[in-house]
Structure 1
Amino acid sequence: MAKLSADASHDKMKFLTKSRFEVYLESSMNDAFDPSKELTPDKLREKLDKPITHYWINSSHNTYLTGDQLKSHSSTGMYMEVLAQGCRCLELDIWDGDKDDNTPIPIITHGGTLTSKIKFEDVVKAINMFLTQNPNCYPLILSLENHCSIPYQDQMTLIMKKVFGERLYIPHPFDLDYLPSPENLRGKVVLKGKKESGIDMDEDEEEIDERSSHSIESSLEALMMNSSNSLGSIPELVKRSESGNTEIPRHPIEITSQLQGKAFRISNEAPLSYSDRKLLPRAEEFADEENDRLLNSKQMSMKTVQTVDTQHVKIAPSLAEITLFHGTRHKSWEQSNAMPTHHMHSFNDSKVSQRLCRQGIENIGNWMKYNSSRMSRLYPSGLRYKSSNFNPLLGWSTGSQLIALNFQTTDEFMHVNHGRFRQYGGCGYIPRPITSFLSRNGTISRDREVLLKIRVMSGSRLPKPHGTYSGDCISPYVKVSVHDVTIDKVGAREVTKTCKTQAIKGNGLNPFWDHHDFFEFIIKRKSVAILLFTVHNESDDAFIACSSIPISCLRLGYRSVKLFDAWHRRSGAFAFASLLVEIEMYDHQKYKKAEEAARQKRRTAGPRFISLD
């Protein structure tokens, strides 16, 4: 009150003038996002003192890429960009580069593609610059996709020790049994990679998928580069697959691309026709369901032809010594749940949706048990060559800590991720809710169903698409979506419902939606679900602005929803953009009983008569 009242007399009378009440409605004090979730440093320390497995961690996939997975630029600046957005797990895809006076120069690139290369050392220096500016930030996890020979691995170790200095976390023997907390690791750099040293190690899931995706991507690249004689353009191939038509015209062609010592071939030869080499056809294991028919069709065979001696990866002892998390391959839940706590699994999103979350509740229970004391990382399938993202809610709801997304793609699921990590001041770490753990008796915990009712009332200072200052007046409409998950005997499934307002013609300054109906959403898992507002222009459906809020962070009543640009920034033309909404939330079962009681009362009351006397 005191902040908004013009003079002392208003304070004593405890009321606001109309103009100041309007200011209050749009102010941060009336934000739909609960300000109590923005914790002070002291409160953060209390919340972030459990083992690191107890937290969701904001994570990036192929952090260095600025665009697609095939031919976009690699950029050191992307690391600074995602760190500024609150990301705390970064990926570095490292390969042997050139040598300078016999000194190895490790590089970062997406192997087997046309993406450009950047120096590993430059990336490490950029990350250290962020730590210098933010010395008290919670730990940065570097996911090292290591494709380097031993001399280059030794050089990587030297670079990290020299640049990071004391910030580089070197695990002690006791850490291998009890993982430290984010609070204990504050200001540190933690490495994920391979822990065992000096011996040949079987590939983990992510390495296999990387190898497979490099094969697919190189094949797609070859198709694009040889479009005049190829099997068809990528959109055409995808269209055929989605329509179920896998008949591909036969042409007497063979496309071969020799990259990183591996030969990638697309041809109509019979499988296993190369007697002198071992075939590793892994693509179908990691394909989306819609693409399986295409990849496995008899007319088109995508194969990774690879010599046997590249199936194992040897790890330099110097690098193993400074690595905390050891990536291992999942073989069975019995083996996985008996592994040391510093061992961790990685799965692509296709495997999660097809194998982890659609094989019954027992399988989900094993997955959640594993995540209670060990780390797991989920990442986009190798077939997402356009850098699209997947819905992270399945992973969050079943306890995965690291859901790695393509930050360069500002799609709906990236907005959902930004909403999740708005809590705790954007520090990148969110305590997992109790529902993401198994209960003490080994059952899956559940939230009480709630009914969420949303009414969009008005908007204020809505910018033009892309924040431009010129062009025609916009005709905005608002989409309201709830992203949720349901878990039953069949498995875990994504549940998304979207409602839309009508467009307000030619008014982005102060549009008003004159309707009294609420959008209604039944929410199964309140602790995980996300509410997403997106504003669009009617003429071309262009994205204007958005806001994403965890259901557990909502405030009820008449509230202001702050809007952000596609990169989740609130500046420039977006600095004052907002929506005014009305929010109601009820226990769903109690609400249904109350409605039924009201209907029964109306039925038994009988007709009402009005006396005219």
Structure 2
Amino acid sequence: MGSYRVCVCFTRKFKSDALSPPGDVKDLFNKYSESGGQMTVRNLHRFLVEVQGQTDATEKDAEHVLEVLRQRRHMSVFQRHSLNLDGFFHFLFSDDLNPVIDSKVHHDMTAPLSHYFIYTGHNSYLTGNQLSSDCSDAPIIKALNRGVRVIELDIWPNSAKDDVLVLHGRTLTSPVEFIKCIRSIKEHAFVASQYPVIITLEDHLTRDLQAKAAETITKTFGELLYYPKSEVLEEFPSPESLKGRIIISTKPPKEYLETKTTELQGDGDKEKLKTPDEEPWGDDIPDYGPDVPNERESADPAGPIEEDSGDDEGISQVNPDKDVAPEYKRLITIRAGKPKGVSLKDSIRVDGKQVKRVSLSEPQLQKVARSHPTHVVRFTHNNFLRIYPKGTRIDSSNYNPLLAWTHGAQMVAFNMQGYGRQLWLVHGFFRANGGCGYVKKPDFLLPNGSENDDQHIFDPKAPRPVKTTLKVKIYMGDGWNQEFKKTHFDTYSPPDFYTRVGIAGVPADTIMKRTRAIEDDWFPCWNEEFVFPLTVPELAVLRVEVHEYDMSEKDDFGGQTCVPVAELKSGIRTIPLCNKKGEKYKSVRLLVRIDFY
């Protein structure tokens, strides 16, 4: 029973307990410690293997834990080779010593690029909305430092100086110099990851400016730039072979001849606009299913293919093939796009040995996924599929990425400059594989030798049995009193925290649950367990959010994180929480237990 004090303004009592271990931690300490109440190196090693599932752990790993605690001058390490209960609890509640996922690259990185999901940005140069914000290299730098591997630049002529600018064409966005963006990409490309950076160009240049852009790219990147010797590329290189390299992806210039002539149309322009922040922390993750409005009806049930653009390409100024700058064309490694008028189904057909990239808007993906799901999956076995936000997302909001990932789309392009649950989900998904920006697709989304047999192609719409069951126990939380200095929430009392925990995945797996609210406590102890049956655990993401209950206003935000289920470590683990922008808090964290059945 904790001590209490009474505020002069209210009769409500405040608990002021210090953080103490939950019952499960005490029980495990007693089980794995000596009779004198000390856990030796050998005991800790047994715990790591038997409870934490670290079958490859050694006694040196256990010794390392004690050494780090000693270096931190943790008073609970009383002896050189043992821990008391407080020391054991401190170890479990340290996200660096006891992380919930691995921090190292561990996927096979020698397969073709098309076998990976890639951390992809959309209109990477915009600082805010799609119509009137500034264009800058700052959001490009921020994205690269986070680990984003695909940067999109829209390049347009600067008629005043016969130069190249980056801007969102036919809008009020202020431009930034192309050379500035390219130099920033070079400087920051490999800060967060050594795996290749792909630059997708939306090209609106004349022949002369194409040549100038090619010269800028070649001189700036030098030997970092990769492009194939032959125009016919039968298989993409691997991320491992392209470490430290930069790749250009765009349409062969002749395919810009037939483009859209209207702005912000074709992506649900009749849909009512909505802001991404209906709640203080952003919209919830939308589900996806078969009942998607059929926008832009056509004779083909899957609808017409749109141009390969972010949303608002406009009329191209590119001339026929004879006017295309050859030095520009040869730099294109991942060739993309199809002329206007070709059906969605035909646009993603597997066409001989020439690998390619096709871009679809989110409504187009919904259409073709509804009509030809296995056709989409087959295409992505060896070719790139890029999905981009619909044109009505002028506020730079985002969409549910699970439909795209479930169909094998490698480049799910997201606006990185905002926040909200969809963006949190993408950030969390790419925490996998050490956060290197490349996540190997599960085997069922890769070629299996039966490319012409639909029965052996993964069908995202097919019902599936439960493959595994995830059990998550939320023990407690800590760090808000340090992070917010008791000023972020109600001025007159400690917060009433509750936790939302759930799964974002295929529709059968998607669910959200919550704990009860713990009143007046900076150190909430919930001790609540949740069970999640999963049919496709390979694509599932664990979602965790903490909020402070407010009976008179909207609940206050207390932290969030998303973690790929396939990467979760079993046992008692620490989950650090992030702010709305996806930046990790210094001290806010949860203690949880993870089990798979």
TM value normalised by structure 2: 0.72
The reply to whether residue 111 of structure 1 matches residue 169 of structure 2 is yes
- Residue of structure 2 equivalent to 1:248: none
- Residue of structure 2 equivalent to 1:434: 443
Distance 1:328 1:349, change over 3 A: same
Distance 1:358 1:316 in 2: 40
Alpha-carbon shift at residue 114 of structure 1 (Å) = 1.6
SS of residue in 1 equivalent to 2:439: strand
Residues 140, 185 of structure 2: 8 Å contact kept = yes
SS of residue in 2 equivalent to 1:96: strand
Distance 1:409 1:495, change over 3 A: farther
The reply to whether residue 550 of structure 1 matches residue 554 of structure 2 is no
- Residue of structure 1 equivalent to 2:179: 121
What are the equivalent positions in structure 2 for 1:380-391 lying under 5 Å apart? 380-391=389-400
> Any gaps of 5 or more consecutive residues in structure 1?
221-232, 240-287, 294-303, 486-492, 587-613
Distance 1:234 1:11, change over 3 A: closer
AA partner of residue 513 (structure 2) = C
The reply to whether residue 93 of structure 1 matches residue 154 of structure 2 is yes
Alpha-carbon shift at residue 292 of structure 1 (Å) = 7.7
Distance 1:161 1:176 in 2: 20
The reply to whether residue 143 of structure 1 matches residue 161 of structure 2 is no
Distance 2:255 2:562 in 1: 45
- Residue of structure 1 equivalent to 2:293: 289
SS of residue in 2 equivalent to 1:568: coil
Residues 213, 383 of structure 1: 8 Å contact kept = no
- Residue of structure 2 equivalent to 1:24: 91
Alpha-carbon shift at residue 10 of structure 1 (Å) = 5.3
Distance 2:486 2:176 in 1: 32
- Residue of structure 1 equivalent to 2:433: 424
Residues 212, 382 of structure 1: 8 Å contact kept = no
Distance 1:189 1:73, change over 3 A: same
Residues 120, 411 of structure 2: 8 Å contact kept = yes
Residue in structure 2 matching 1:451, options 456, 465, 469: 469
Distance 1:25 1:463, change over 3 A: same
SS of residue in 2 equivalent to 1:173: coil
Residues 112, 215 of structure 1: 8 Å contact kept = no
Residues 206, 319 of structure 2: 8 Å contact kept = no
Distance 1:529 1:496 in 2: 8
Alpha-carbon shift at residue 140 of structure 1 (Å) = 0.8
- CA-atom RMSD in angstroms: 3.6
Which structure features the higher share of helix residues? 1
Distance 1:426 1:549 in 2: 11
Residues 324, 342 of structure 1: 8 Å contact kept = no
- Residue of structure 1 equivalent to 2:249: 192
AA partner of residue 89 (structure 2) = E
Residue in structure 1 matching 2:360, options 347, 365, 368: 347
What are the equivalent positions in structure 2 for 1:244-393 lying under 5 Å apart? 289=293, 315-329=324-338, 331=343, 332-333=345-346, 336-353=349-366, 355-359=367-371, 363-393=372-402
Distance 1:414 1:34 in 2: 20
Distance 2:496 2:77 in 1: 42
Residue in structure 1 matching 2:479, options 453, 461, 483: 461
Distance 1:412 1:145 in 2: 28
Bigger mean CA offset, 368-377 vs 465-474: 465-474
Alpha-carbon shift at residue 185 of structure 1 (Å) = 1.4
Distance 1:543 1:316 in 2: 52
AA partner of residue 67 (structure 1) = G
SS of residue in 1 equivalent to 2:513: strand
- Residue of structure 2 equivalent to 1:478: 499
Alpha-carbon shift at residue 427 of structure 1 (Å) = 1.3
- Residue of structure 1 equivalent to 2:524: 511
Distance 1:452 1:427 in 2: 25
Residue in structure 1 matching 2:591, options 560, 565, 580: 580
Note the alpha carbon deviations across 1:117-138, whole angstroms, 9 max, x for none: 111111011111114x649721
- Residue of structure 2 equivalent to 1:501: 515
Distance 1:174 1:464 in 2: 57
Distance 1:115 1:551, change over 3 A: same
Residues 138, 187 of structure 1: 8 Å contact kept = yes
Alpha-carbon shift at residue 423 of structure 1 (Å) = 2.3
Distance 1:525 1:124 in 2: 39
Distance 1:138 1:526 in 2: 26
Distance 2:466 2:314 in 1: 54
Note the alpha carbon deviations across 1:111-164, whole angstroms, 9 max, x for none: 122222111111011111114x64972111011011222222222111111211
Distance 1:116 1:503, change over 3 A: farther
Bigger mean CA offset, 306-315 vs 176-185: 306-315
Distance 1:551 1:96, change over 3 A: same
Distance 1:554 1:325, change over 3 A: same
Aligned-pair identity (%): 26
Note the alpha carbon deviations across 1:153-192, whole angstroms, 9 max, x for none: 2221111112111212232117612221111211111111
Distance 1:307 1:78 in 2: 24
SS of residue in 1 equivalent to 2:182: helix
Alpha-carbon shift at residue 392 of structure 1 (Å) = 1.3
- Residue of structure 1 equivalent to 2:542: 531
Note the alpha carbon deviations across 1:502-542, whole angstroms, 9 max, x for none: 2223333x1111x5x52222211011110011122223323
Residues 32, 554 of structure 1: 8 Å contact kept = no
Residues 147, 192 of structure 2: 8 Å contact kept = no
Distance 1:498 1:335 in 2: 34
Residues 451, 520 of structure 1: 8 Å contact kept = yes
- Residue of structure 1 equivalent to 2:136: 75
AA partner of residue 129 (structure 2) = D
Residue in structure 1 matching 2:104, options 10, 13, 38: 38
Distance 1:543 1:135, change over 3 A: closer
Alpha-carbon shift at residue 200 of structure 1 (Å) = 5.9
Distance 1:73 1:182 in 2: 33
AA partner of residue 558 (structure 1) = I
The reply to whether residue 411 of structure 1 matches residue 428 of structure 2 is no
Distance 1:128 1:174, change over 3 A: same
Residues 106, 119 of structure 1: 8 Å contact kept = yes
Distance 1:139 1:464, change over 3 A: same
Residues 503, 512 of structure 2: 8 Å contact kept = yes
SS of residue in 1 equivalent to 2:380: helix
Residues 119, 411 of structure 2: 8 Å contact kept = yes
> Any gaps of 5 or more consecutive residues in structure 2?
1-61, 71-75, 279-291, 298-310, 459-463
Distance 1:511 1:366 in 2: 49
Residues 535, 544 of structure 1: 8 Å contact kept = yes
AA partner of residue 450 (structure 1) = T
Bigger mean CA offset, 75-84 vs 364-373: 364-373
Distance 1:518 1:185 in 2: 44
Alpha-carbon shift at residue 215 of structure 1 (Å) = 5.2
What are the equivalent positions in structure 2 for 1:217-236 lying under 5 Å apart? none
SS of residue in 2 equivalent to 1:518: strand
